[in-house]
């Protein structure tokens, strides 16, 4: 049987498929569902230092080729982070805690709390497209990315993953993150987008602007992973429109060592994780690969 086990950013994974932050990552029960579905790691929703209520509804709207959402980073804050991670540790999977701060110090504080609670790694949300003063606003500036990653990497011992979105200087920002101590990158986040109700004549989301995910952004994610891997040859977790084994394989061939699934879990259920894993097994056998490692970045060699 072809081997799907992979090592990414210092984490040993039984296969390359996990959930994306914000999808079934907000409660012990939800993380247990992911573990039962076979996710190789459990990624929490993004936690901030103070509790956040999030935006007014509607916060998510299905579109023909994806999902538009603006949740607003709703979460219970630091205390909720500790409780969730401690509860999830018993599920037998590495727990990756997503954190979102507004300053390097705040990111470092959140990362320290996650590590103390038992996180296997932290994922720095430097790419949320609709949280004012956080996320994409920070990730747009490579220097700021470097400062935040350095603050976190010098504070914790667990692997640090920087989640970057689609910005003009993505390859440069990726280099700054890696140079500052990130063990790997997560590419990409949702894209800033909007939908308007033509009868109400106003934006459909409560926050007006949200993030577009799903199949519509997949080619963008493939391009981002390909270009960053070509320049840096680093450990990458690819995310964006992973719907089946084929879309997962595209990101792996572009340079990703693992993938995250988001919208497909929302629209089809967490069982899609197992379907993707089985599909990747068949694909490896079809192309004559003995391990998934052989295919990482293979598109750069052909």
In a domain, 60, yes or no: no
What mean pLDDT is predicted for residues 71-91?
A: 87
In a domain, 64, yes or no: no
> Which residue is listed with tokens 């999902």?
67
Say if residues 159 and 178 touch (Cβ distance below 8 Å). Answer: no
Instruction: Tell whether residue 263 is among the known ligand binding residues.
Output: yes
Please tell me the distance from the alpha carbon of residue 196 to that of residue 211, in angstroms, as a whole number: 14
Instruction: Tell whether residue 265 is among the known ligand binding residues.
Output: no
Residue 27 belongs to a domain with what CATH number?
3.20.20.70
Question: Given CA atoms 102, 104, 107, 113 in this order, what sign does their dihedral have?
Answer: negative
Convert 127-190 into a string of H (helix), E (strand) and C (coil). Answer: CCCCCCCCCHHHHCCHHHHHHHHHHHHCCCCCCEEEEECCCCCHHHHHHHHHHCCCCEEEECCC
* 234 flagged as catalytic: no
In a domain, 62, yes or no: no
Query: What's the domain range around 91?
Result: 6-54+69-192+212-300
In a domain, 84, yes or no: yes
In a domain, 269, yes or no: yes
Instruction: Tell whether residue 21 is among the known ligand binding residues.
Output: yes
Say if residues 296 and 257 touch (Cβ distance below 8 Å). Answer: yes
Q: Tell me the pLDDT band of 58, cut-offs 50, 70 and 90.
A: confident
In angstroms, what CA-CA distances link 263 with 19, 77, 232?
A: 10, 24, 28
Instruction: Tell whether residue 175 is among the known ligand binding residues.
Output: no
In angstroms, what CA-CA distances link 213 with 60, 63, 288?
A: 11, 10, 32
Whether residue 129 has pLDDT greater than 80: no
Whether residue 149 has pLDDT greater than 70: yes
Q: Which of 13, 95, 128, 193 is catalytic?
A: 128
Whole-prediction pTM value? 0.95
In a domain, 233, yes or no: yes
Task: Report the candidate in 66, 182, 55, 61 with the shortest Cα–Cα distance to residue 128.
Answer: 55
Strands 6-8 and 196-197: what pairing? unpaired
Task: Report the candidate in 26, 9, 6 with the shortest Cα–Cα distance to residue 17.
Answer: 6
Q: What does the block give as tokens for 191?
A: 């894209």
Burial of residue 10 (CB within 10 Å: 0-12, 13-18, 19+) is: middle
Say if residues 300 and 230 touch (Cβ distance below 8 Å). Answer: yes
Q: What does the block give as tokens for 152?
A: 């976190």
Q: In this predicted model, what pLDDT tens digit does every residue of 10-26 receive, in sequence order?
A: 999 999 999 999 898 88
In a domain, 151, yes or no: yes
In terms of pLDDT, which residue wins out, 79 or 2? 79
In a domain, 197, yes or no: no
In the chain, how many domains are there? 1
Instruction: Tell whether residue 10 is among the known ligand binding residues.
Output: no
Please provide the average confidence, as pLDDT, over all residues in the chain: 93
């Amino acid at each position: 049987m072809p081997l799907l086990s992979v090592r990414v950013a210092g984490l040993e994974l039984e296969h390359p498929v996990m959930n994306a932050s914000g999808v079934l990552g907000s409660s012990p029960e939800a993380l247990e569902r992911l573990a039962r579905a076979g996710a190789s790691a459990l990624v929490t929703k993004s936690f901030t230092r103070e509790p956040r209520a999030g935006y007014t509804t509607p916060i998510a709207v299905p579109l023909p080729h994806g999902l538009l959402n603006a949740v607003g980073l709703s979460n219970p804050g630091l205390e909720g982070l500790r409780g969730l991670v401690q509860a999830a540790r018993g599920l037998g999977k590495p727990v990756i805690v997503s954190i979102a701060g507004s300053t390097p110090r705040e990111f470092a504080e959140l990362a320290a709390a996650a590590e103390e609670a038992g996180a296997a790694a932290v994922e720095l949300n430097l790419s949320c497209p609709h949280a004012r003063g956080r996320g994409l606003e920070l990730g747009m500036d490579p220097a700021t990315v470097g400062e935040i990653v350095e603050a976190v990497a010098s504070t914790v011992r667990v692997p640090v993953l920087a989640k970057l979105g689609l910005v003009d200087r993505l390859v440069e920002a990726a280099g700054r993150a890696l140079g500052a101590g990130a063990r790997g990158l997560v590419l990409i986040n949702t894209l800033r987008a909007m939908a308007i109700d033509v009868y109400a004549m106003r934006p459909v989301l409560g926050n007006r602007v949200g993030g577009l995910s799903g199949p519509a952004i997949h080619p963008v994610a493939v391009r981002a992973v390909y270009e960053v891997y070509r320049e840096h040859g680093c450990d990458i977790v690819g995310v964006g429109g992973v719907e089946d084994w084929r879309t997962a394989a595209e990101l792996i061939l572009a340079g990703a060592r693992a993938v995250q699934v988001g919208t497909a879990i929302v629209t089809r259920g967490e069982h899609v994780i197992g379907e993707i894993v089985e599909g990747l097994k068949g694909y490896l056998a079809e192309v004559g690969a003995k391990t998934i490692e052989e295919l990482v970045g293979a598109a750069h060699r052909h």
